[in-house]
Structure 1
Amino acid sequence: MPYLPLAAEERAEWDSGSQPLARNSNREKKPLIMKIGRLPCVLLFVLCVVLFITYIKWKPRKEQALDSSDLQSKDTNDIGRLSSKNEIFYGIMFDAGSTGTRIHVYQFSRTPSGAPNLDHEEFRALKPGLSSYADNPLKCAPGINELLDIAKKEIPQNLWASTPLVLKATAGLRLLPGEKAQKLLDMVRELFKASPFLIGKDSVSIMNGTDEGIFAWITVNFLTGSLTSHEKKHSGMLDLGGGSTQITFYPYSKNTLTSSPPGYITEFELFHNTYSLYSHSYLGYGLMSARLAIMGGEEGKALKEGEELVTSCLTPEHKTEFKHAEITYKIKGQKNDEPLYVSCYKRVLAVLGGKVERSKEIPNLFFYAFSYYYDRAVDAHLIDPELGGSLKVKDFDMAAKKRM
């Protein structure tokens, strides 16, 4: 079984207007195993950095087409140099996830080498996710503008025009029909254009799942030192979001490179080294989307009046409600002759059957897991909420058996 050190991630989010916005001002946490304070939205840290160092050059294999034009330098002689002439400069990153929209305002300083040094991060978050406004994109405007006002307060006015503003949407928008997702992006793009910040052609876009996994892998291995030391083995990355889940690792086995399904291996250059990573995103298998599927619901489809979802994962006749993507589903437990764990496990296997690729190399690797992996481990009292911890996959299974 792979080990899963779980690192605390700042996930505080509230509905706009109902409670104060979540704050994050670089408070330190000390997860077990990793000598890192915390891993807040790890892929976004990398995204913001590469906005300035413009260093990564993607070389997708075969049909894999990564949309990363916004990460590439047009002049190869400028690779690694900052786009700003100021000693202090800023970047704004919006993370449009399936369960909420978050803003990260980064303050950088120039180092003697020309690379950016992250001095400060301001983080705020709002619920619900952007995808909740699919039927009325205009309703997302107040929340987006509220977050933009946060950026205005954090950044000196004389630097607004030179501060890049980017929104990357993840599984929430990937799950929407193309036309609805595009209308949301267009709405956000218009709001960004009306702001005083620097907007590029690709400032508002949907990030594909492979990019999401690879950026998180880069961050984890940069922070643990394996990208700068040949003596350290690379760690894998597991990220469980609301709408999708990602797995990314560096294959040490040639068999993994040659036998993996098409599109699972991506090659890229980073800091003068070439990496071939196994990376795949399972859309629709994030925590919230998977729960809905296991209970028999359909993504984005409300139940009819008086209709209920009947599931073998709740005690018989128990009734509750489940809210996902602004749709509330009525749920009822199903009668069965088997123990609850057994009946629920069978249902999970039926949903996942034939849809998950199992690499033989995975059980021998070391992974970092975060997002909902961390939250569920805390809920099950498997790890300390402040320190994180180290687990095996079977620990989740044992915790489920105890609870059911």
Structure 2
Amino acid sequence: LTVHHEHSANMENLLPENLLLEVVPKVLPEVLLEVSHPVNLSRTFYGIMFDAGSTGTRIHIYTFIQKDPVELPVLDNEMYHAVKPGLSAYKDKPEEGGNTIRALLKVAKKTVPEDEWKQTPVVLKATAGLRLLPKEKANALLDEVREVFDESPFFVPNNSVSIMNGTNEGVLAWVTVNFLTGHLYAKTRKTVGILDLGGGSTQITFLPKSKKTVFTAPASYIANINMFNHTLQLYTHSYLGNGLVAARLATLGALGADGLDWKVFTSSCLPKKFREDWTFGGITYKVSGIPDGYAGYKLCYYEVMRVVKGIVHQPFEVKGSSIFYAFSYYFDRAVESGLIDGSRGGMVEVRDFKKRAKEVCNKMTKYRPISPFLCMDMTYITCLLKEGFGFKDNTMLQLAKKVNNVETSWALGATFDHFNNLNIH
């Protein structure tokens, strides 16, 4: 029974079936209870997840405690570290991109105990930055990362380095937030929606309460996810090119443009006297305000509208009262424009973004030191929420960078998916 005691979680692997049958009936009922819930079955394990985004690469090192083999594990803590720029900036120098990963793996070696290295999986998932690159450039970067992983002491699973599809990005961010807010443990229908605004793409994911949302959505916007032995149907979509930084380029008419050596891209969302070179994804653009023209919220909104209108699907039920968690650039810009306190986050209504966007755009010189793009960014966020997703002015958004001290991103959900196959399709 000592064997039984220590390894009851995977006892089946140790004992042949017939032996199992012989052992169990001879145990007294009280002991049997004790055996099926041994005093200390809790084990600690680790997971390393790299988020290779368009503007930076982040490493998340998670420590989990599995208290009960059937229940979800508990997240004990997260170690988080980030470097800029993102991998896509190294598209012509993949080795240098690989070195940024090497540097971050040093953090992992300090965090994960050495005797756990061999069984701690290391995974990198790239998002919109690499989706926007030509295939051969993206593959050269991923191959470089594979080499760095192979020479590391950690466990490298199959398909450890990949470009994640947008659907999974939204679904796994939803898993992260609902896990951290406790909604997944409760097995209730009461969950929160998520809005994630990255540099290259933006995601919306929620659990529909109304069948009409499912029926009226394009088929590819409904994802099934396997949790607690039943399937949840989520509404989710990732809009590539509608991330905050890509949207700046689209607003300026520079996304996919040529003749960059001599073209200057102008916008009434920028301060009139502003003019500088601006780099994204390893490409440099000449950008300026309109020196002898007009600037301000109204004109800016009109410009930004082209990037959103008719591109973003409006789910049937978002006009309702559900709460959405909004993070990434939604959070960062709300802090920079003074909408919320960066150390705490907070609840805002969609109309608060609109009100603040007007203030920022009509006082560009005041906000210019924070960022000359703040007017464009705040107007874009307002337009995306209202004209894009179709949220009402009074829709509540919980702006959060962290929940219970853990980063709100798809990385935790992806680590989870790795350990408990969520079977997203």
TM-score grouping bracket, smaller chain normalisation: 0.7 to 0.9
Residue 367 of structure 1: how far off its partner (Å): 0.6
Runs of 5+ unmatched residues, structure 1: 1-52, 54-84
Contact 1:167 1:203 in 2 (8 A): yes
Q: State whether structure 2 residue 304 is matched by structure 1 residue 348.
A: yes
Q: State whether structure 2 residue 288 is matched by structure 1 residue 332.
A: yes
Counterparts of 2:308 and 2:66, CA distance in 1: 48
Runs of 5+ unmatched residues, structure 2: 1-8, 10-40, 362-425
Counterparts of 1:173 and 1:382, CA distance in 2: 32
CA deviations 1:256-302 (Å, max 9, x no partner) are 11111120011222012321111000011111111111112125968
TM-score (norm 1): 0.74
Q: State whether structure 2 residue 181 is matched by structure 1 residue 221.
A: no
Counterparts of 2:270 and 2:295, CA distance in 1: 11
Counterparts of 2:160 and 2:42, CA distance in 1: 22
Contact 1:248 1:277 in 2 (8 A): yes
CA deviations 1:174-207 (Å, max 9, x no partner) are 1112222111111111111111111111111111
CA 1:326–1:301 in 2, change beyond 3 Å: closer, same or farther?
A: farther
Q: Which residue of 2 aligns with 1:90?
A: 46
3-state SS of 2:340 partner: coil
Counterparts of 2:225 and 2:338, CA distance in 1: 39
Q: Which residue of 1 aligns with 2:247?
A: 290
Q: Which residue of 1 aligns with 2:271?
A: 315
Q: State whether structure 2 residue 91 is matched by structure 1 residue 148.
A: no
3-state SS of 1:192 partner: helix
**What one-letter code is carried by the residue in structure 1 that aligns with 2:268?**
S
3-state SS of 1:263 partner: helix
Residue 325 of structure 1: how far off its partner (Å): 2.0
Contact 1:137 1:183 in 2 (8 A): yes
Match of 2:231 among 274, 280, 283: 274
Q: Which residue of 2 aligns with 1:61?
A: none
Contact 1:244 1:283 in 2 (8 A): yes
The percentage of counterpart residues that share the same residue type is 50
Q: Which residue of 1 aligns with 2:66?
A: 110
Q: CA RMSD in A?
A: 2.3
Match of 2:317 among 333, 336, 361: 361
**What one-letter code is carried by the residue in structure 2 that aligns with 1:353?**
K
Counterparts of 1:367 and 1:240, CA distance in 2: 13
- Relative to its length, the structure with more helix (as a share) is 2
Match of 1:190 among 139, 144, 147: 147
CA 1:123–1:340 in 2, change beyond 3 Å: closer, same or farther?
A: same
Match of 1:130 among 73, 87, 93: 87
CA 1:301–1:373 in 2, change beyond 3 Å: closer, same or farther?
A: farther
Q: Which residue of 1 aligns with 2:124?
A: 167
Specify which structure has the bigger relative contact order, considering alpha-carbon pairs within 8 angstroms and separated by 6 or more residues: 1
Contact 1:129 1:172 in 2 (8 A): yes
CA deviations 1:343-374 (Å, max 9, x no partner) are 11111112222211112311212211011100
Contact 2:207 2:234 in 1 (8 A): yes
3-state SS of 1:361 partner: helix
CA deviations 1:8-59 (Å, max 9, x no partner) are xxxxxxxxxxxxxxxxxxxxxxxxxxxxxxxxxxxxxxxxxxxxx9xxxxxx
CA 1:339–1:142 in 2, change beyond 3 Å: closer, same or farther?
A: closer
CA 1:110–1:276 in 2, change beyond 3 Å: closer, same or farther?
A: closer
Contact 2:146 2:161 in 1 (8 A): yes
Rg comparison, structure with higher value: 2
Counterparts of 2:157 and 2:69, CA distance in 1: 26
Counterparts of 1:339 and 1:300, CA distance in 2: 23
Q: State whether structure 2 residue 330 is matched by structure 1 residue 370.
A: no
Counterparts of 2:103 and 2:187, CA distance in 1: 45
Counterparts of 1:265 and 1:139, CA distance in 2: 39
3-state SS of 2:316 partner: coil
Q: Which residue of 2 aligns with 1:59?
A: none
Contact 1:302 1:329 in 2 (8 A): no
Residue 232 of structure 1: how far off its partner (Å): 6.0
3-state SS of 1:128 partner: coil
Residue 158 of structure 1: how far off its partner (Å): 2.4
Contact 1:93 1:103 in 2 (8 A): yes
Q: Which residue of 1 aligns with 2:198?
A: 241
Counterparts of 1:117 and 1:227, CA distance in 2: 12
Counterparts of 2:66 and 2:193, CA distance in 1: 31
TM-score (norm 2): 0.70
